[in-house]
Amino acid sequence: MPVIQISTILVLLAIFKQDMRSRAVYWYWFPILTILFLVQGIKQKPFPEILATSAMNIGFVLLQLLLISVYFSIKNKRAVNITHSLLGWGDILFLLCIATYLSTINYILFYILSLVIVIIMTGIYLLFHKKAEQIPLAGLQAMIFIVCLILDWLSPRIDLIHDDWLTPYLL
């Protein structure tokens, strides 16, 4: 594995470890991770295409955050800042980081599947511990993303940077 790929795995592991341990992640991991993703992406597609895809993915995340904020504001009958108690900045920054690497369909697929996996894992945890804690979303998604990256790097059929490999499955 090249240095960039190993570095990416190490940064994702650091995010996982910190989020699991303290439910907080040092901010500097996110720009490092974004740079590593951009370096890997530039090797596989032109930078303007990366910018366009990243913009669509970030737009998707921002729309989700807006809808969640509006929902909880209506539900609570007052303006709610979701970053105060519902979603951590590390979770948001992680989603923005991977937005620079994944193609749009891969991004939406990862976003949905990782949330489902985290919900299932949390449900199983609560069955045995009965203690509700904050969910280390960024950390768990980082671990899931490590698995996705390794599959991408080892399998010629999977390509997280392009959507072409998914089209036959979606049509």
Contacts of 33 (CB under 8 A, 6+ apart): 8, 11, 12, 15, 94, 97
Give CA–CA dist 22/42, Å, rounded: 34
pLDDT tens, per residue, the chain with 171 residues? 599 999 999 999 999 999 989 888 899 999 999 999 999 999 999 999 999 999 999 999 999 999 999 999 899 889 888 888 788 899 999 999 999 999 999 999 999 999 999 999 988 888 887 776 788 899 999 999 999 999 999 988 888 998 888 777 776
Give pLDDT, residue 9: 97
Give CA–CA dist 25/91, Å, rounded: 9
Give CA–CA dist 24/100, Å, rounded: 22
Give pLDDT, residue 42: 93
Give pLDDT, residue 165: 81
Give CA–CA dist 23/157, Å, rounded: 35
Tokens of 90: 């590390």
